[in-house]
Structure 1
């Protein structure tokens, strides 16, 4: 019988997988869609692949404590390789599949990876480009054989299936070799290295222990129980801590099925086919889905738009009761039942949310209007707060206690306190062992038995946590008035027309901002208003778009004290991009780098100029470079103060 609750923390991840394979061998553990077909992998299959690959690694000389890195989309082989390395006392390393060769070289050199599993030719080519920079890598193992024939004579490269076949042969001679290694594992062993965001410098690798992931899998399910028959859609990168938490820790602890889409591009359509019971996505996914709904509704007939608005009003009233755990009046219950039957239920069905019992969002603030919208249509969306160093979630909303301005209360087994300087400190069995080969940062971040999150915040009288910003990012104007740029950025991004915002003002007389318009919603708005445009550059510099965003900025300013209001802003001519080092791989702003890259625009925000000539280059995936020259307007939030002809 499977151990229950916190008894699971006495085991390692491979030991839990082995127990599931022994006790529920026929239950579906993983589904992967290929060529339009969902292929099912049972726990028995899962464990067999793990042990075969582990035995193959043994035959190739993999040693306890060595690191195996994986660069791939969400494929079963990622999990096989990760659990196989852990089965042998090794450590897996997650690398974002979108990483550029220099980023990969840093991660592999920093962690000293001995083996790398690369999904396809694209990833193998990246490794070949940096081969001389990663001398620790003894073997590259590809999963997808397409295009790999040209590398057949290179002993550095071999196929995933070939490793499994080596393992099968090895197990015939040493049938208990992997089982014996699995039995030696301890819950305190470091099993995985997960990279931090790296907003202020090079990412650090957090050392995850088996008990960290299993604690999270058990503790979160005390709050929101999941059934072994439930489905989860895994479409965010496995290198991200949130996906490790869900697809490894929670999935093994709870026994539910992890469903992997055919590709990143088909994830949302595949979601409709699976109809998951639980989802975990960053705000951009929820905001993007709401924007798609908004676009679709705006394109329909006037009567349909009127019905939608009337039903949504009922939904919002019901959401206010539901989010605060209050019983709805009989009249509102009946009205909401009617609205649910004729509109919300079909809408959830089209989105793939019909079976969704609960959903989580984290990594950044989600606007209160977005929260109310999803609860209005019947989606139980909750905010979470956590970070890599505490396995993704430390705080979460409870059913009937969802507040858009907080991130909830600690999960079971977690403790929190606020330091004298306002920093959030956390403690639980989910806190990792430290940073790989970085004792100084480990001593600083994990001092006195507490995780020093680096975030500023406070607790409400009800025990909810409110996160303000990174402690290091809290700034002061030239008159020494304190402000949080992230707080204002989030308020700006609550607008459906604003995709990204970067606020400036440290030691300056007033606050300014760079703004990325949302190409989907602003593009649709432009079409509806018969405004022709060609490229994103053209769209972002339209005078009508400037007025649209000015109204959005003024609306935010109206809710802020005078010293926190945006005075001037620029509509940036390109979307901020992780490939250009402007964002982290998890979508967080690299503020200092952006200031350096766009220094002329930052200077213009604090001068009397109203126009800036910009010469820039766009690099495409095929390596081509296009040079572009454009004129960027510096805009006043108050149009009456616009500098004409300055």
Structure 2
């Protein structure tokens, strides 16, 4: 089925004709799923489109949407597109300068937001940014806003009501607007990850996104029977790719969890057929399994360990196209060991799953295949609709990202940069023609800025951002991200930032943030008391715990790039502090500047470092504290004799 010549609103009309009473979306409210049929979906889109027109939104303009995933998010998106405008998605966690930058660059006059929290951000921004162009803020969750009296604000349902009245006065207008739209119109503006600067706004057309949907489903077919649980921000290209482009072109049913706390149970209840998440989701799932297994009795641990080993051997045979994986032994192992774990994670019915946005550690990748999850790595960028390369079912290598999807050309430049070309390459950066010209050359090749190579099996191996590829003392090229992923495979490590030597005699060093959940669980098991995250990270026992994990990771690394010293940071890295992006990519320029004293102490071989840190309490007060952070030297550390390597599925030493 070719949908690249259509638009999202036109595809919605087609689905209404084919299955008007089919469930398009369902949202969980107060523990009950609230379905929305395709006919109701289309009716609300038309009402909201008329409402936007009543506020003066015209073809070619941009409407901003800021909030968590709800039906209203997509209703606003489709309504905006139906009248020839485009949406720019803003991460619900965005604040301050980032929020101001996106609104100013897009020149959005109407912003659709979720709730009181987002309304308050914009009210504050209006006070501090006199030149803000926003004229109307539409909210779709009125809770907490009952007492707000500001003409700037309007309820989502009020816009729909006004739209219905306008529709009565303009019969046939909506259909004319949809018909006037074309596949080359801008559908969505997605922000880039912004690891080195403010995020750029990438313009993606209907044709860009739907071409991608056609090419991906040529490899991995999907149809209207597929269920998809949407919980990652629509501002992310990955969610636009799966939930919107494939969702509308193939008629998937979307389900929205009630909130973050019920996400896992809602996922279990729906049992999605397809899932797409960045590495942090898969890593957190593995950490959850490790904690649960460690809390189980010895018999359950033995049974799971046996089943995992059987599943791992079967997965190796299956993913390399060598057959196997369906013997009676694997059925038994699946029934008593790995299937219950998949069920607990909400993955019991997943036919295929994808990960992208950042590299996934090979060990994590392998774990999910061993428990029977058909997980595939994809590679792409916002500028090519999030995907260009993917694994095939019978051709998966845990250290690669697969091969190009149909319709995509891949080339490695003379200096090792990955170049891509397809119908999904974006229109350009919004209001930044010079940046667009730097990114897409006259022949249509997208210059990704990533370094990589194609291996002997035709698979793409991504090394790192080209500017971040380093050279070891022995002359070999390496990636900080590769080492960091090795370290983050530990259930106790949340984030890792490594620093290469700058001169002879220096070794590889690392700054680590611990995972408070898994380390906290370990501390309780060890009867180790603590108060705060800072207190826990400073414990000598926790340093020993992480030292063993890093030493194990070093065993799998070439000697020239093994970590020789590390420090446990007193706080977690935070996107609100610009230390990591909203998709949890490290902003190295910020880290290098903010933690310069720590980095220098690590490289010099100091035993410790003293820093000043501002602590803000819940009541808004803050205080500057002087902290003493220990630096651990691994060159003299040895793992206690007789201690076996921790199994992949366990956090126990």
Q: Name the TM-score class by shorter chain.
A: over 0.9
Instruction: Using the TM superposition, name which of 488-497 and 469-478 deviates more.
Output: 469-478
Please state how far the C-alpha of 1:482 moved relative to its aligned partner.
Answer: 4.1
Shift of 1:492: 1.4
Q: CA deviation at 1:624?
A: 3.6
| CA displacement at 1:143 relative to structure 2 | 0.8
Q: Is the 8 A contact 1:217 1:251 kept in 2?
A: no
CA distance in 1 between partners of 2:377 and 2:160 (Å): 41
1:65/1:623 Cα in 2 relative to 1: closer, same or farther (>3 Å)? farther
- Please tell me whether the aligned partners of residues 30 and 258 of structure 2 are also in contact (alpha carbons under 8 angstroms): yes
Q: Do structure 1's residue 261 and structure 2's residue 247 form an aligned pair?
A: no
User: What is the CA–CA distance in structure 1 between the aligned matches of 2:557 and 2:343, rounded to whole Å?
Assistant: 39
Pick one of 237, 240, 243 that aligns with 1:244. Answer: 240
CA deviation string 1:101-141 (max 9, x = no partner): 33211110111111000111111110011115253211111
Deviation at 1:413, TM superposition (A): 1.0
Equivalent position of 1:455 in the other structure: 450
Contact 1:74 / 1:235 at 8 angstroms: preserved in 2? yes
Secondary structure, aligned partner of 1:315 = helix
Alignment-derived partner of residue 644 in structure 1: none
Change (3 A) 1:353 1:477: closer
Q: Tell me which of 122, 125, 129 is aligned to 2:124.
A: 129
For the 8 Å contact 1:140–1:158, the answer to whether it is kept is yes
TM-score, normalised by the number of residues in structure 2: 0.94
1:290 paired with 2:286, answer yes
User: Kindly tell me: are residues 407 and 56 of structure 1, through their superposed partners in 2, closer, same or farther at Cα, counting changes over 3 Å?
Assistant: same
Moved more, 586-595 or 608-617: 608-617
1:229: how far off?
1.4
| Matched residue SS, 1:262 | coil
Partners of 2:501 and 2:296 in 1: how far apart?
A: 46
In structure 2, relative to structure 1, the CA distance for the partners of 1:384 and 1:139 (3 Å cut) is same
C-alpha spacing 1:620/1:76, structure 2 compared with 1 (3 Å): farther
Among 178, 200, 214, the alignment partner of 1:218 is 214
- Map Cα deviations across residues 316-337 of structure 1 (whole Å, 9 max, x no partner): 11111122122228xx711111
What residue number does 1:568 align with?
Answer: 565
Q: Judge conservation of contact 2:307–2:336 (CA < 8 Å) in 1.
A: no
Give the Cα separation in 1 of the matches to 2:425 and 2:548: 44
Match of 1:422 among 416, 425, 435: 416
Q: What's the secondary structure of 1:21's corresponding residue?
A: helix
Within a 5 Å distance, the mapping from 1:34-433 to structure 2 comes to: 34-132=29-127, 133=129, 135-152=132-149, 154-328=150-324, 333-433=327-427
**How far apart, CA to CA, are the structure 1 residues paired with 2:305 and 2:473?**
46
Structure 1, 378-387 or 523-532: larger mean CA deviation = 523-532
Q: 1:621 to 1:89 in 2, by over 3 A?
A: farther
Aligned to 1:11: 6
CA distance in 2, matches of 1:316, 1:368: 13
SS in structure 1 of the partner of residue 392 of structure 2: coil
1:531 lines up with 2:528 in the alignment: yes
**Distance (Å, rounded) in 2 between the aligned partners of 1:458 and 1:246:** 27
Q: Post-superposition shift, 1:561? A: 2.5
Q: CA deviation at 1:525?
A: 2.2
1:364-401 CA deviation, whole Å, 9 max, x = no partner? 22222222221222111111111111111111111111
Aligned to 1:23: 18
TM-score (norm 1): 0.95
**Superposed displacement of residue 350, structure 1:** 2.5
Kindly state the Cα deviation for residue 480 of structure 1 after the two structures are TM-superposed: 6.8
Answering whether residue 483 of structure 2 is matched by residue 494 of structure 1, we say: no
Question: Secondary structure of 2:372's partner?
Answer: coil
1:236-268 deviation line (CA, Å, top 9, x unaligned): 011111011111101001101011111123211
- Whether the aligned pair in 1 keeps the contact of 2:139 and 2:156 (CA below 8 Å) is yes
Q: 1:610, 1:634 within 8 Å by CA — same for their partners in 2?
A: yes
Give me the whole-angstrom Cα distance separating, in 2, the residues matched to 1:318 and 1:294: 21
Give, in angstroms, the shift of residue 626 of structure 1.
4.6
Q: SS of the counterpart of 1:606? A: helix
Cα shift at 1:149: 2.8
Q: 1:405 & 1:481 partners in 2: Cα distance?
A: 18
- Distance (Å, rounded) in 1 between the aligned partners of 2:164 and 2:63: 20
In structure 2, the partner of 1:638 is 635
Take 1:363 and 1:228, find their aligned partners in 2: how far apart are those partners?
26
Q: 1:596 pairs with 570, 593, 596, which one? A: 593
Superposed counterparts of 1:509-548, under 5 Å: 509-548=506-545
Distance 1:64 1:506, change over 3 A: farther
TM-superposed CA distance for 1:25, in Å, is 0.8
- Answer yes or no: is the 8 Å Cα contact 1:416–1:427 preserved in 2: yes
CA distance in 1, matches of 2:584, 2:481: 13
The superposition leaves residues 501-539 of structure 1 with CA deviations (integer Å, 9 ceiling, x where unpaired) of 111126344321111122222222222223222221122
- Alignment pair present for 1:443 and 2:398: no
Preserved CA contact (<8 Å) 1:480 1:507: no
* Structure 1: distance between partners of 2:339 and 2:499: 43
Deviation string 1:182-202 (CA, Å, 9 cap, x unpaired) is 111110111211000000001
- Does the CA-based 8 Å contact 2:189-2:201 persist in structure 1? yes
Alpha-carbon distance, 1:476 to partner: 4.2
CA contact (8 A) 1:554 1:638 kept: no
Unaligned runs of 5+ in 2: 639-653
Unaligned runs of 5+ in 1: 642-646
**More moved, 59-68 vs 127-136:** 127-136
Report if the CA contact (8 A) 1:278-1:359 is conserved.
yes
Please say if residues 554 and 637 of structure 1, whose CA atoms lie closer than 8 Å, have aligned partners that are also in contact: yes
User: Per-residue CA shift, 1:429-459, capped at 9, x if unaligned?
Assistant: 1111010011111001011311111100011
Cα deviation code 1:251-288 (max 9, x no counterpart): 00110101111112321121011110111011111111
In the alignment, the residues of structure 2 paired with residue 488 and residue 373 of structure 1 have an alpha-carbon distance, to the nearest angstrom, of 19
Q: Is the 8 A contact 1:476 1:506 kept in 2?
A: no
Distance 2:600 2:455 in 1: 39
Where does residue 649 of structure 2 map in the other structure? none
Q: Equivalents in 1 of 2:622, 2:261: separation in Å?
A: 25
1:232–1:257 contact (8 Å) kept in structure 2: yes
Cα RMSD (Å)? 1.8
**Which residue pairs with 2:643 in the alignment?**
none
Change in Cα spacing, 1:408 to 1:617, as seen in structure 2 (3 Å) is: same
